[in-house]
Structure 1
Amino acid sequence: MLTLLPVLCLLSGASWAATLGGLGDTILGPDKLHDVANFSTFLLDQSTGMLFLGARDAILAVDTKKLNQPRKIVWDVPEEKRRSCVAKGKTEVDCNNYIRLLEFLGDGRIYVCGTYAFDPQCAFLELSSFTLEKAEDGGVKMETGKGKCPFEPSQHYTAVMAAGTLYTAATSNFLGTLFDISRATGAEQERIRTERSINWLSDPEFVSSAFIKQSADSNPTGDDDKIYFFFTEVAKEYDLYTKVKVPRVARVCKSDIGGMKTLQRRWTTFLKAQLVCEDKPSGQRYNVLTDVFTAQHTPGDPSSTHFYGVFTSQWEREELSAVCVFSLSDISKVMDGPFKELKKTCENWINPEPVPTPRPGQCLNNALKDEGFKSSLTLPDKVLTFVRDHPLMENSVTAAPLLVREGIRYTKLAVTQTGSRDQRRGAVLHLGTDRGELHRVAVVDQNATLLQEIPLFPSQEPVNNILLHQGWALVGSPLSLARVQAEGCALYPSCEVCARARGLGCVWSTEEEACRPTTAEPGPGDMVDNALKKCTIEGRCSPSIRELRVSLGLRLLLPCVQLSPRPCSWEHPPHRHTRQHHSDLEVTVTEDSLGKYICTCQEAGQGSRDPTPCRRAAYHLTLEAPSAGGTMATAGGRHVLAIYILFFILGLLFGLFLLYFVSHRRSIALQGHHLPDNSLSSEKGRDLLGSSATPQSPSSASLLSEGFRLTEKRNGTSNTNTTTTLLSNQGNGGHHGNSYSGTLIHSNPSNGHGNALYANCNTSNSGLKFTSEILAADLLDGRTGERERVRPEGVERESGEGDEVDEGLGDGLGDGIKGLEEELASFPMFKSPAPLAKCEESSI
């Protein structure tokens, strides 16, 4: 027993550690996912917790409870088909099989569709064996995927399964120029699609789709089930100089099978309306739809369905994201409203009159069936003609933004409802960014509060899938998969963050030092401010002033968190050295820029949409005192460097004078002797010459670095430390970067050597650059000047050498020139080749 006791303790400890690891967040990278890439599709089995992932040439199955040992199916493209795809002008990367569709069929199989080298194909996956069905020849049993799956991996696409029938919105040709919303499976005579008309679809970018099934209890009229599609398209109702994008919602009815003569094999119930996500106080409209999440506020009640949409703006150059929510009842009201029509005579959009009966685009219900309209095949031609020419509704579905974030681009959205079934407290938005982050935002009434920003993946991996399952958020990128906790007050680790989630039913427990759920209703007034006061910190709209010690010339970015769809403004000293980036403020520190900086944002008041000012951030900039190790060391280093440069120039001038004196004495001694000129055409002489007779002036950024490279070559290594001192003192900007962590932004571009030569020292840089130009010019003259004094008369100048004739020399200087070359070669300055590049020889 004593021997077994330590073993049992070890086993129990291992089990406990595994349990704790299972409760934490988990991230699977490419090494854990069999090196499979380009994940684009998620499908979750709610009953078993098994997650299926569609990727490039493969399908993976991951158990969300364990999140380890994923199973893999390979479904790739034959090599000859891949070569044929490349021969048609497509890239090798795109000529793979990208799985874009995974949908349950309800009979123990999954319908799988892939691009299959620009020839979409579909197959059947057996859940019991996790294998693809085989054909008689032993290969994968496939059927055409045209109209069910896009041709290109990057094309926008959406699909939904409704009672075993697949409805898709995708491109329908190889070039990607034709777009269809269609019933893609089922009986052949019931496979219908949209009309090929720009009035129906105008260069759309499909985003999402949803199947809304009517419940028998809440459907006394016998209304038909509906499928909704969300997309962005080019508006034809706006006659402007540029293409205007608008977000749309389209609706079709499940029992629609097309018309008898008009609209044969086409939708007879296709209607679409514009979605307007607009902040009316500022007039900002967000017109590009990115993602849509469908949620029922009351489970089991389809009429309580709401659609949360992520929007951006076509007109904004910088990143911008907004979230708007639209109710199903508002969409139904617009679909039942007036139609929009373009009258050809005056080219103006007007409301057409009269509208035929039964109402065009109406779904079948008990009333229509009683009138004899058993199916869409029995509808009159005038009704079908009208709906063919008027698919667009006059009114728009409008909503105000719940959340606006500048400088961030959201890609995916999932929503968790909080509170009881009868009384919803609010919602938590799980937002994925294009930089691999997961943001959580609490929305209570009209107030939005940022709760968490979690970096999950590398910045180059955007979030492209978010699924919620049993309190977890399954987040995917093209290369990775993460599981993070999505529900519960335990998500918020500090008292301040827990206080911001007060509207979600969370309260901070001082005894447990943790955030716990509560059923107690918050008191009157601002619940967040009251909860913050218990954390012994200042309220949400009265932040403490942060003291920042800065230095002259430093550039700061003062952050101001903006979580309300209202503008933010800054109060700062009256000068012109600031620029606002979204809600943040960029400041260049000068003598006039010291003082207080206060950011105030307009937020929605309690229980109303009236904006109220709320102070979000406050800073006080003070000048940092100079220190002996910082500014004084920099100044001392500059003085020493200036002295070195001065002595170097004086020594260079003395050397040039000495060379001139020696050459002059030799020319006098050898005057009258005629020797052939064969030294200037030698390879040794060419190496000593410049690369051009008229060298181009280098840029100001390269003059400094080039000049110091010449200095190092001609003076050994004595000036290497001096050059390093200059770069470090100028590039690092002293110790100013440590005054405020996270706020120093790049001041100026570097000189191409990894050192910012122009950071925070504009006056000194100009002087240093001027000195370098003189230094470079002197060295070039010193290198080529001697050759001008030794060239004999009568010899033509060669273009590639850069030599000129000195009029004071005779013809017989061959021996003198050879001796001079030997003396020149003994000087350290000319031991190494010149750094200038050789140019091609040519004769003049």
Structure 2
Amino acid sequence: MALRGVMLLLLPACCLLSSGGSEAASIGGVGVTLGPQTFKNVTDFSTFLLDRSSGVLYLGARDAILAVDTNNLNQQPRKIVWDVPEEKRKSCVGKGKTEVDCNNYIRLLEFLGDGRIYVCGTYAFDPHCAFLELSSFTLEKTEDGGIRTETGKGKCPFEPAQHYTAVMASGILYTAATSNFLGTLFDISRATGPEQERIRTERSINWLNDPEFVSSAFIEESADVNLTGDDDKIYFFFTEMAKEYELYTKVKVPRVARVCKSDVGGMKTLQRRWTTFLKAQLVCEDKSSDRRFNVLKDVFTVQHSADDPSSTHFYGLFTSQWEPEDASAVCVFSLKDINKVMDGSFKELKKNCENWMNPEPIPTPRPGQCLNSALKGEGFESSLKLPDKVLTFVRDHPLMENSVTAAPLLVRRGIGYTKLAVTLMGPGAVLHLGTDRGEIHKVAVVGQNATLLEEIPVFPAKEPVNNMLLYQGWALVGSPLSLARIQAEGCALFGSCEVCAKARGLGCVWSSTEKACSLSQEDPGPGDVVDAALRECGLGRCRPIMEDMRVSVGQRLLLPCVQLSPRPCSWDHPPHRLTRQHHSDLDVTVTEDSLGTYICSCQEGGPSVRDPTTCHRAAYHLSLEGPSVERSKSLAGSRQIIAFYILSFFLGSLFAAAIMYFVIKRKTPGQHQAADTSLSSDKGKGFMGSSVTPQSPSSSSLFSEGFRLMEKRNGTTTSTTTTTLLSNQGNGGPHGNGHGGSKNSNGINGSSNSGELKLASDMLVANMLDGRTGERARPERGERESEEGYGIVGGLGDGLNEGIKGLEEELASFPMFRSNAPLAPCEESSI
């Protein structure tokens, strides 16, 4: 038993070593990944910068910068070390920061256009920037041999985990970051260039209210289509607390803000501040279910037509502030819609006596607009010449009245998406979605329909996807520890008839003779083209293959039914109460009445479709797998032995309590003093049981300290406190991963939450009594007890500890406690 416990402890460590030892492992046959062993102790990758002319990818990490040749991943990456001096590190720790955070995390890598890269790091909560020479791959040095640096405040965040974004526009750096040590001041600024042109946002909650910056984009106007001489613009995407909704609660809202490249601030009002800063709310709302996704996670910018900046679209990845579980949605916003809102009416935020004031008249020229040919013709060649009334208005009215609204392209629950990249294919697009458990999900979007093509595991579950770039048909995917390259474009990446059929709306066709997927220019025809293509593969989206599942009474199953449409799904199943729907999946507790056929039906089509079609997405048939006669006899005999042990255990406990009572009475005749219940008292030490329960963090017993094991729940790895006995005999043991015939269900009966640790014997008794157990009420630490009563409790505690240990050793030998664990529900949906 002890040996098995040691093996269970060593197993996660062995798996960790094996996962990190692969230098160029295959990913589903379509790519390679570089693990931690390749990067040799360089970790915490947070920044990507790709040189598209050479294919070299620069990675910002902790105390280092790496250069990886994406065309030759077998070549060892080049490395530059840029760490923090020990004195500065100690000073950072002395200010209350952790030793881990007091390093130099490279958060900014941008090309300067003169053969150098601008590099900025947190530098122990004192941001510094340096210059990297591409030709020699070294940081520029000063005359004394040190690294040439300049301040990074306003260019790089102070803390490694702070939200941050930056973009380079015509050689000038624009950033959105915190600007003080405490992380309480936020700026969107022009961080480089001439000193007199370095401007930022106003320090007002009307402008920025506790924002979480997500992304930024520079939209350069083309002279061919820009007939008005309008200025180039920089767009920033973030989530902030909505001041306009603060009457009842704090509500987060996603925003898009716009500034103009030629803005240099005002002459008197808004000196060294933006005169063109405007922001609008982004609304990603599913009106059919009245669900709004209000937290922005990532934005990917795509230009739908070549050489036409006005065709730019922003694909936003959202979650919800109010969803109790992971929920993700993708909405797309066009640049034309954003500019239309920016040219609309302004929101009036001033209040007087609980009544909203009438909006102020908009002065001329229009506040917040970029300089164009017409304004320059009127004498406004620079923002310094704008009238004070215009600048005062834009200072007090940065928020637009209308919102930029879009319906979700897809909604997925139970999955936490972290990054997004988009590939345009034919009439639709392929969304490459990175998850918080190290996977890439590919989703085809054609019109209002979204179809999950495949789910590719890229990294171990503990490594979330935090970076993604598209380059020459490949997706470069990063995690804090690893780098992967997977194929991202073309029908050829779909290696099976089923996946190719799901991409039929994108123009992909499967060749049964060549066993390959290729692009076809033929019209797919009317109707459900995906369902028709699946029928040619012997499958059917609306006629799924019935999966037969052999189950046993008492098992808990999660029957998956993947639905990406915002519209709901429903289940047809035998009428009984032991079912619960998790989003589109169904949680079933198996009884004799629950056997039969289960069919999942989903409404297809987006929210704009008035009459959606209903499609069967999954079908299962549950049949009973009865136990053998010999096993039934064995279980009956085991129950009799267990009952005998329980009876003997309680009789022994009562006998021990009686002995303790008489011993104490003999030592203290005629005295009835109150017992000292403090932990520091030595009185009665030999008789009292431990007053520190296994749940107490101060207990020195094995149960309280426990072993820190890793548990996978919902695809994410969490730390779980448990004991060797529970690991061997509980559902999380080596035999506890039975799947009951469902290849897409994951058992989580063995999971235990932090703070719910119980004695192993309590768990076993709970199983024998079908979970109906009662807990003894423990006296409060401050209560006073008589010495006789305290001695009885102490003696009973000692007897219980000995009895529990013996009972555990005996029960561990029974085969019934080593049987396969039943399945339990998880929040994972997969095809």
What is the TM-score of this pair, normalised by structure 1? 0.78
Give the 3 Å change call, closer, same or farther, for CA 551–833 of structure 1 in structure 2. closer
Deviation (angstroms), 1:757: 5.3
CA contact (8 A) 2:319 2:327 kept: yes
State yes or no: 1:165 paired with 2:160: no
Offset at 1:635? 3.0
Judge conservation of contact 2:25–2:33 (CA < 8 Å) in 1: no
Number of the residue aligned with 2:514: 512
CA distance in 1, matches of 2:261, 2:730: 71
Find the counterpart in structure 2 of residue 783 from structure 1.
none
Amino acid at match of 2:627: P
Equivalent pair of 1:727/1:755 in contact (CA under 8 Å): no
C-alpha displacement of 1:344 = 2.5
CA contact (8 A) 2:560 2:744 kept: no
Matching residue of 2:238: 231
Do the aligned residues in 2 keep the contact of 1:339 with 1:351 (CA within 8 Å)? no
Q: Which runs of 5+ in 2 are unaligned?
A: 1-23, 660-683, 696-700, 702-724, 777-786, 806-831
Given that 2:566 and 2:607 are in contact with CA atoms closer than 8 Å, whether structure 1 keeps it comes out as no
1:588-603 → structure 2 map (5 Å cutoff): 588-603=589-604
> 1:512 & 1:464 partners in 2: Cα distance?
37
Q: C-alpha separation between the residues in 2 aligned to 1:332 and 1:728?
A: 59
Post-superposition CA distance 1:681-704 (Å, at most 9, x none): xxxxxxxx995368989999xxxx
What is the distance in 1 between the residues matched to 2:688 and 2:555?
43
CA contact 2:315–2:330 (8 Å) conserved in 1: yes
Asked if the contact 1:552–1:760 (Cα under 8 Å) also holds between the matched residues in 2, the reply is no
Kindly provide the CA deviation profile for residues 737-778 of structure 1, in whole angstroms up to 9, marking residues without a partner as x. 544445363447788688995699665676xx89x99xxxxx
Rounded Cα–Cα distance in structure 2 between residues aligned with 1:284 and 1:518: 38
Counterpart among 36, 41, 44 of residue 35 in structure 1: 41
1:175 aligns with 2:182: yes
Name the CA shift for 1:125/1:634 in 2 (closer, same or farther; >3 Å). same
Find the counterpart in structure 2 of residue 712 from structure 1. none
Supply the AA of the counterpart residue of 2:60: G
Within-5 A mapping of 1:233-632: 233-348=240-355, 352-419=359-426, 425-537=427-539, 539-604=540-605, 608=609, 610-628=611-629, 630-632=631-633
Following superposition, the deviation at residue 73 of structure 1 comes to: 0.2
Residue-by-residue CA offset, 1:452-500 (whole Å, 9 max, x unaligned): 1111112121111000101111000111111111112222222111100
Report SS of the residue matched to 1:95.
coil
Identify if the C-alpha distance between structure 1 residues 264 and 592 changes in structure 2 by more than 3 Å, giving closer, same or farther: same
Contact 1:27 1:482 in 2 (8 A): yes
| Alpha-carbon separation, structure 2, partners of 1:114 and 1:690 | 57
Shift of 1:735: 11
Residues of 2 paired with 1:575 and 1:213: CA distance?
61
Q: Secondary structure at the match of 2:614?
A: strand
Q: 1:602 to 1:263 in 2, by over 3 A?
A: same
Change (3 A) 1:118 1:619: same
DSSP 3-state at the match of 2:67:
strand
Opposite residue 687 of structure 2, the aligned amino acid is S
Matched residue of 1:229: which SS?
strand
Where does residue 781 of structure 2 map in the other structure? none
Residues 348 and 112 of structure 1: CA distance in aligned 2, closer, same or farther (over 3 Å): farther
RMSD: 3.8
Moved more, 469-478 or 235-244: 235-244
Could you report, residue by residue, the CA deviation over 1:273-310 in whole angstroms, capped at 9, with x for unpaired residues? Answer: 00000000100000000000000011211001000000
* Correspondent of 1:692 among 659, 665, 687: 687
The whole-number CA distance in structure 1 between the counterparts of 2:556 and 2:66 is 48
1:332 is paired with a residue whose SS is helix
Match of 1:745 among 747, 759, 762: 747
Residues 290 and 309 of structure 1 are in contact (CA less than 8 Å); yes or no, is this contact kept in structure 2?
yes
Answer whether contact 1:748 1:758 (CA < 8 A) is retained.
Answer: no
One-letter amino acid of the structure 2 residue matched with residue 289 of structure 1: L
Note closer, same or farther for the CA distance 1:690–1:290 as it changes in structure 2 (3 Å cut). Answer: same
Matched to 1:438, the amino acid is: I
Partner of 1:125: 132
- In structure 2, do the counterparts of structure 1 residues 58 and 734 end up closer, same or farther at CA, with 3 Å as the change threshold? closer
Change (3 A) 1:346 1:304: farther
> Displacement, 1:541?
1.9
Partner Cα distance (1:645, 1:606) in 2: 60
Higher Cα radius of gyration:
1
Contact 1:340/1:351, CA 8 A, preserved across alignment: no
Q: 1:174 to 1:690 in 2, by over 3 A?
A: closer
Deviations 1:563-599 (A, max 9, x none): 1122222233333212222221111122332333222
Residues 609/307 of structure 1: CA separation in 2 closer, same or farther (3 Å cut): farther
TM-aligned CA distance change 1:616 to 1:222, over 3 Å:
same
* Counterparts of 1:57 and 1:694, CA distance in 2: 52
Code of the residue aligned with 1:546 in structure 2: it is E
Note if contact 1:57-1:97 (Cα within 8 Å) is conserved in structure 2: yes
State the SS of the aligned residue for 2:338.
helix
Greater alpha carbon shift after TM alignment, 603-612 vs 44-53: 603-612
1:514 to 1:521, Cα distance in 2 relative to 1, 3 A: same
The Cα of 1:269 is off from its aligned counterpart by 0.4
Sort the Cα spacing of 1:381 and 1:578 in 2 relative to 1 into closer, same or farther, 3 A: same
Q: Which has the higher contact order (CA 8 A, sep 6+)?
A: 2
- Rounded to whole Å, the distance in 2 between the matches of 1:351 and 1:396 is 20
The CA deviation at 1:347 is: 4.3
Pick aligned residue for 2:53 from 39, 47, 53 = 47
Q: TM-score, normalised by structure 2?
A: 0.79
Change (3 A) 1:351 1:247: farther
Aligned residues: 709
Farther off after superposition, 390-399 or 445-454? 445-454
Task: Pick closer, same or farther for the CA change 1:351–1:330 going to 2, 3 Å.
Answer: farther
Please list the CA deviations of residues 328-382 of structure 1 after superposition, one character each: whole Å capped at 9, or x if unmatched: 0000100000000123324455672421111000101111111111010111111
Q: Distance in 2 between matches of 1:290 and 1:271?
A: 21
Q: Secondary structure at the match of 1:341?
A: coil
Contact kept in structure 1, 2:550 and 2:740, CA below 8 Å: no
Q: Does 1:203 align with 2:210?
A: yes
Residue 67 of structure 2 is aligned with which of 61, 65, 84? Answer: 61
Distance 1:760 1:79 in 2: 55
Determine helix, strand or coil for the equivalent of 1:429. strand
Question: Following TM superposition, by how much is the alpha carbon of 1:63 offset from its aligned partner in structure 2, in angstroms?
Answer: 0.1
Q: Deviations over 1:150-201 (max 9, x none)?
A: 1111111000000000000001111111000000000111000001111000
**Superimposed CA distance per residue, residues 120-166 of structure 1 (whole angstroms, 9 cap, x where no aligned partner):** 11100000000000011210000111111111111110000000000
Cα shift at 1:633: 3.6
Q: What is the alpha-carbon distance in structure 1 between the residues aligned to residue 455 and residue 124 of structure 2?
A: 38
The structure-2 alpha-carbon separation of the partners of 1:133 and 1:19, relative to structure 1 and needing over 3 Å to count, comes to: same
For 1:558, the aligned partner's letter is: L
State whether residues 444 and 503 of structure 1, in contact with CA within 8 Å, keep that contact through their aligned partners in structure 2. yes
Aligned partners of 1:764 and 1:540: how far apart in 2? 41
Q: Unaligned stretches of 5+ in structure 1? A: 1-17, 420-424, 660-688, 701-705, 707-722, 774-796, 805-829, 837-844
Amino acid at match of 1:692: F
Q: Indicate the SS of the match to 1:32.
A: helix
1:778 paired residue number: none
Amino acid at match of 1:637: S
